[in-house]
Amino acid sequence: MKQELEKLRDKAIAAVEAADDEPGLQALRVKYLGRKGSLTALLRSTGKLLPEERPAFGKRANEIKAEIETAIASRSTILAAGEKETGAELDVTLPGFRAERGTIHPIARMLNEMTEVFTGMGFEVAVGPEVELDKYNFTLLNFPPDHPARDMQDTFFVSKDVVLRTHTSPVQIRAMETRKPPMRIISPGKVYRHDRDTSHSPMFFQLEGFVVDKRISMADLKGALTVFAQRIFSEDTPVRFRPSFFPFTEPSAEVDIGCIFCGGEGCRMCKQTGWIEILGSGMIHPQVLRNVGIDPNEWIGFAFGMGVERIAILKYGIEPIATFFENDLRFLRQF
């Protein structure tokens, strides 16, 4: 077996010295030193030797392994130097590579567009924590501990009294706690709910807003949201308000737009109704104002909230919602 070891060494060294490119050199490394290589196979056969012969055989095998590795490294250096001399690594006649420019993500683009509409109406942008106290996420928004409306939102609980915010309304509560009316504020940002299907994601973006002032009415709410819908979609987009329920507004209303896919004739997207829901809204509940120290007999206001992905899906004709978060460059390059 010693003779076989020496023959393998000579054969390997000769092959390495004759290698004329890097891929061929690496193939020789695998052939002789790999897990299924020739040298490895010989080492596995040491059990056939007498016990007293095994140490010397193993020592010599390790020496030969080192010799082959040294020969490979040396040949690799020579090949690299030869490529540089012949200019194989750089051909100045080849065309260059144009650096690919990034673009704004469609969700960021949509959020910026929505924000611009409301700031143009005099709204101020406010932000807040995504890990929120239950008090701000629910209680001060008129969600008592046993309120059935809590079941409408599948919540991620960090602890008993700490949650991942299910909406950006807590930002509005914090703003009303620390500021004096009148005020107009929008609160865009990420929110979290334990919900996932073709139209829902565990993490998504919302834009909510509110106004607190004197002599505010549903007419002001309707005017602001009609302007918003027609700025985002088109000037002739029909808008309607339907009675609804939210714990923090009274009265409450869902806002629909005429289906932008079928023109109101009825299709799969609007479920044959001719209308598509885009957001929820209403007059701020008097108890919410009391909770933050604002006298509802002196001040009144309205609030609204919408999913950014929902608006983007309608505006760009994209579904399912997961498309926005898959980072598929074929999709993102369209924007």
Structure tokens at 219: 């007419």
Using alpha carbons only, give the angle 35, 41, 45 rounded to the nearest 5 degrees.
Answer: 135
Query: Is the whole-model pTM more than 0.75?
Result: no
Q: How confident is the model at residue 151 (pLDDT cuts 50, 70, 90)?
A: low
Number of other residues whose CB lies within 10 A of the CB of residue 13: 18
| 224-228, 256-260, 282-286, range with the lowest pLDDT | 256-260
Distance CA 313, CA 13 (A): 64
Q: Looking at the domain that runs over 106-332, which CATH code has it been given?
A: 3.30.930.10
Token look-up 């829902």 returns 200
Domain residue spans in the chain?
2-86, 106-332
Q: Which amino acid is at 312?
A: A
Structure tokens at 45: 């056969």
How high is the pLDDT of residue 175? 94
How high is the pLDDT of residue 99? 76
Distance CA 152, CA 232 (A): 28
Distance CA 307, CA 114 (A): 11
Residue 253's contacts (CB-CB under 8 Å, 6 or more residues apart) are: 218, 221, 241, 242, 243, 244, 280, 281, 282
Using alpha carbons only, give the angle 188, 118, 249 rounded to the nearest 5 degrees.
Answer: 70
Question: Averaged over 240-249, what is the pLDDT?
Answer: 93
Q: Name which of 316, 306, 294 is nearest 140 in CA terms.
A: 294
Q: Which amino acid is at 159?
A: S
